[in-house]
Amino acid sequence: MITVAVGSKNPNKVRGTELAFRLAGFRVRVISTEPPNDLSPEPIGLSEIINGAIKRARYAINVVSNAEFGVGIEAGIIKIEGFNEGVDVTIATVIDKDGKVTLGMSPGFMVPRRFMKEVLQGVELNEVVSRYYGEPNVGRKYGLIGALTRRFIDRVVLNTEAVYMALIPRMPWNAELFKD
Protein backbone atom coordinates (compact mmCIF):
# COMPACT_ATOMS: atom_id res chain seq x y z
CA MET A 1 0.00 0.00 0.00
CA ILE A 2 1.31 3.43 -0.92
CA THR A 3 0.67 6.74 0.79
CA VAL A 4 -0.62 9.62 -1.30
CA ALA A 5 -0.82 13.15 0.11
CA VAL A 6 -3.45 15.52 -1.26
CA GLY A 7 -3.06 19.28 -0.90
CA SER A 8 -6.67 19.83 0.12
CA LYS A 9 -9.19 19.11 2.84
CA ASN A 10 -12.03 19.22 0.31
CA PRO A 11 -13.74 15.78 0.47
CA ASN A 12 -14.40 15.84 -3.30
CA LYS A 13 -10.68 16.17 -4.04
CA VAL A 14 -9.71 13.50 -1.52
CA ARG A 15 -12.31 11.04 -2.83
CA GLY A 16 -11.42 11.79 -6.47
CA THR A 17 -7.76 11.11 -5.75
CA GLU A 18 -8.53 7.83 -4.02
CA LEU A 19 -10.78 6.67 -6.87
CA ALA A 20 -8.30 7.63 -9.60
CA PHE A 21 -5.38 5.80 -7.98
CA ARG A 22 -7.53 2.72 -7.39
CA LEU A 23 -8.81 2.76 -10.98
CA ALA A 24 -5.17 2.92 -12.10
CA GLY A 25 -4.43 -0.22 -10.07
CA PHE A 26 -2.72 1.30 -7.03
CA ARG A 27 -3.52 0.29 -3.46
CA VAL A 28 -3.49 3.59 -1.61
CA ARG A 29 -3.92 5.34 1.66
CA VAL A 30 -4.82 8.96 0.98
CA ILE A 31 -3.94 11.64 3.52
CA SER A 32 -5.37 15.12 3.12
CA THR A 33 -3.47 18.20 4.21
CA GLU A 34 -4.43 21.82 4.53
CA PRO A 35 -3.37 23.52 1.29
CA PRO A 36 -0.73 26.25 1.27
CA ASN A 37 -2.24 29.59 2.24
CA ASP A 38 -0.93 31.59 -0.72
CA LEU A 39 -3.24 30.11 -3.37
CA SER A 40 -5.55 32.22 -5.50
CA PRO A 41 -9.13 31.97 -4.21
CA GLU A 42 -10.39 31.75 -7.82
CA PRO A 43 -7.69 30.91 -10.36
CA ILE A 44 -8.29 32.38 -13.79
CA GLY A 45 -6.20 31.29 -16.74
CA LEU A 46 -4.47 28.03 -17.53
CA SER A 47 -1.11 28.92 -16.01
CA GLU A 48 -2.66 30.10 -12.72
CA ILE A 49 -4.68 26.86 -12.47
CA ILE A 50 -1.67 24.65 -13.27
CA ASN A 51 0.62 26.55 -10.89
CA GLY A 52 -1.97 26.23 -8.11
CA ALA A 53 -2.19 22.47 -8.66
CA ILE A 54 1.61 22.11 -8.64
CA LYS A 55 1.91 24.22 -5.49
CA ARG A 56 -0.67 22.02 -3.74
CA ALA A 57 1.07 18.79 -4.80
CA ARG A 58 4.55 19.96 -3.73
CA TYR A 59 3.23 21.21 -0.43
CA ALA A 60 1.39 17.95 0.29
CA ILE A 61 4.34 15.65 -0.46
CA ASN A 62 6.59 17.79 1.75
CA VAL A 63 4.14 17.87 4.67
CA VAL A 64 3.38 14.12 4.73
CA SER A 65 6.80 12.59 5.38
CA ASN A 66 6.06 9.05 4.17
CA ALA A 67 4.08 10.04 1.06
CA GLU A 68 5.21 8.50 -2.22
CA PHE A 69 3.10 10.92 -4.25
CA GLY A 70 1.72 14.41 -3.72
CA VAL A 71 -1.46 15.38 -5.53
CA GLY A 72 -2.67 18.87 -6.26
CA ILE A 73 -6.10 19.54 -7.73
CA GLU A 74 -7.07 23.02 -8.79
CA ALA A 75 -10.30 24.07 -10.47
CA GLY A 76 -10.42 27.38 -12.25
CA ILE A 77 -11.72 29.28 -15.20
CA ILE A 78 -10.18 29.65 -18.62
CA LYS A 79 -11.28 32.84 -20.33
CA ILE A 80 -11.31 32.39 -24.08
CA GLU A 81 -10.78 35.42 -26.29
CA GLY A 82 -13.89 36.44 -28.19
CA PHE A 83 -16.10 34.24 -26.01
CA ASN A 84 -18.09 35.81 -23.18
CA GLU A 85 -18.40 32.73 -20.99
CA GLY A 86 -15.55 31.17 -19.12
CA VAL A 87 -14.77 27.47 -19.22
CA ASP A 88 -14.35 25.75 -15.87
CA VAL A 89 -11.67 23.04 -15.81
CA THR A 90 -10.05 20.95 -13.13
CA ILE A 91 -6.32 20.32 -13.40
CA ALA A 92 -4.48 17.73 -11.34
CA THR A 93 -0.77 17.28 -10.82
CA VAL A 94 0.95 14.27 -9.37
CA ILE A 95 4.47 14.71 -8.03
CA ASP A 96 6.78 11.96 -6.80
CA LYS A 97 9.72 12.01 -4.37
CA ASP A 98 12.13 12.67 -7.27
CA GLY A 99 10.21 15.84 -8.17
CA LYS A 100 8.72 14.54 -11.42
CA VAL A 101 5.40 16.23 -12.14
CA THR A 102 2.66 14.83 -14.38
CA LEU A 103 -0.49 16.72 -15.37
CA GLY A 104 -4.08 15.82 -16.17
CA MET A 105 -7.23 17.73 -16.93
CA SER A 106 -10.95 17.11 -16.61
CA PRO A 107 -13.54 17.94 -19.22
CA GLY A 108 -14.41 21.62 -19.20
CA PHE A 109 -17.82 23.27 -19.13
CA MET A 110 -19.18 26.77 -19.61
CA VAL A 111 -19.74 28.99 -16.61
CA PRO A 112 -22.94 31.06 -16.94
CA ARG A 113 -22.29 34.71 -17.82
CA ARG A 114 -24.19 35.92 -14.77
CA PHE A 115 -21.67 34.04 -12.59
CA MET A 116 -18.65 35.13 -14.65
CA LYS A 117 -19.45 38.81 -14.12
CA GLU A 118 -19.02 38.44 -10.36
CA VAL A 119 -16.02 36.09 -10.62
CA LEU A 120 -14.21 38.63 -12.80
CA GLN A 121 -14.90 41.22 -10.08
CA GLY A 122 -13.08 39.01 -7.55
CA VAL A 123 -15.91 36.97 -6.01
CA GLU A 124 -15.12 33.26 -5.58
CA LEU A 125 -17.25 31.04 -7.84
CA ASN A 126 -18.35 28.87 -4.89
CA GLU A 127 -19.79 31.97 -3.19
CA VAL A 128 -21.70 33.03 -6.32
CA VAL A 129 -23.05 29.51 -6.94
CA SER A 130 -24.00 28.95 -3.29
CA ARG A 131 -25.90 32.25 -3.19
CA TYR A 132 -27.70 31.54 -6.49
CA TYR A 133 -28.81 28.02 -5.49
CA GLY A 134 -29.50 29.00 -1.87
CA GLU A 135 -27.28 26.25 -0.49
CA PRO A 136 -24.11 26.94 1.49
CA ASN A 137 -20.74 25.69 0.24
CA VAL A 138 -21.87 23.98 -2.96
CA GLY A 139 -18.19 23.63 -3.99
CA ARG A 140 -17.49 21.21 -1.14
CA LYS A 141 -20.53 19.16 -2.12
CA TYR A 142 -21.39 18.56 -5.77
CA GLY A 143 -20.09 21.83 -7.23
CA LEU A 144 -21.41 23.98 -10.06
CA ILE A 145 -21.14 21.01 -12.42
CA GLY A 146 -23.48 19.05 -10.14
CA ALA A 147 -25.99 21.89 -10.08
CA LEU A 148 -25.87 22.37 -13.85
CA THR A 149 -26.22 18.64 -14.62
CA ARG A 150 -28.75 17.91 -11.85
CA ARG A 151 -26.05 15.80 -10.21
CA PHE A 152 -25.48 13.57 -13.25
CA ILE A 153 -21.84 14.69 -13.01
CA ASP A 154 -20.38 16.08 -9.81
CA ARG A 155 -17.03 17.38 -8.61
CA VAL A 156 -15.82 13.92 -7.55
CA VAL A 157 -16.15 12.79 -11.18
CA LEU A 158 -14.16 15.75 -12.52
CA ASN A 159 -11.48 15.35 -9.85
CA THR A 160 -11.21 11.62 -10.51
CA GLU A 161 -10.84 12.18 -14.25
CA ALA A 162 -8.18 14.88 -13.80
CA VAL A 163 -6.09 12.77 -11.39
CA TYR A 164 -6.44 9.67 -13.57
CA MET A 165 -5.21 11.66 -16.59
CA ALA A 166 -2.21 12.81 -14.52
CA LEU A 167 -1.45 9.16 -13.70
CA ILE A 168 -1.29 8.02 -17.35
CA PRO A 169 2.49 8.58 -17.70
CA ARG A 170 3.01 6.63 -14.45
CA MET A 171 1.16 3.50 -15.53
CA PRO A 172 3.55 0.58 -16.11
CA TRP A 173 2.47 0.02 -19.71
CA ASN A 174 3.23 3.68 -20.52
CA ALA A 175 6.55 3.99 -18.67
CA GLU A 176 8.67 3.57 -21.81
CA LEU A 177 6.69 6.24 -23.68
CA PHE A 178 7.19 8.87 -20.98
CA LYS A 179 10.82 8.15 -20.11
CA ASP A 180 13.09 11.17 -19.84
How far apart (Å, rounded) are the C-alpha atoms in residues 105 and 91? Answer: 4
pLDDT value at 32 more than 80:
yes
pTM, to two decimals: 0.95
Q: Please tell me the predicted confidence (pLDDT) of residue 84.
A: 77
Domain count, the chain: 1
Asked whether residue 141 is assigned to any structural domain, the reply reads no
Model confidence pLDDT, tens digit, residues 37-95: 898 888 999 999 999 999 999 999 999 999 999 999 999 999 988 887 899 999 999 99
Tell me the per-residue pLDDT of 150-178, one tens digit each, with 9 for 90 and over: 999 999 999 999 999 999 999 989 989 99
pLDDT for the residue numbered 48: 96
- 23 falls within a domain: yes
* Residue 116 forms part of a structural domain: no
Residue 16 backbone class (left: φ over 0; alpha: ψ -120 to 50; beta: rest): alpha
Residue 74: domain span: 2-109+154-174
**DSSP helix/strand/coil, 94:** strand
Residue 119 lies in a domain: no
Q: What is the DSSP string of 103-127?
A: EEE---EEEPHHHHHHHTTT--HHH
| Cα 90–chain centre separation | 5
Q: 55 lies in a domain?
A: yes
Q: For the chain, give the mean pLDDT.
A: 94
DSSP per-residue codes, 35-47:
PPTTS-SS-BSHH
Query: Quick check: is 114 in a domain?
Result: no
146 located within any domain:
no
Residue 125: inside a domain: no
Q: How many C-beta neighbours within 10 Å does residue 130 have?
A: 19
CATH code at position 28: 3.90.950.10
pLDDT, tens digit (0-9, with 9 covering 90-100), for 103-141 = 999 999 999 999 998 998 889 999 999 999 999 988 888
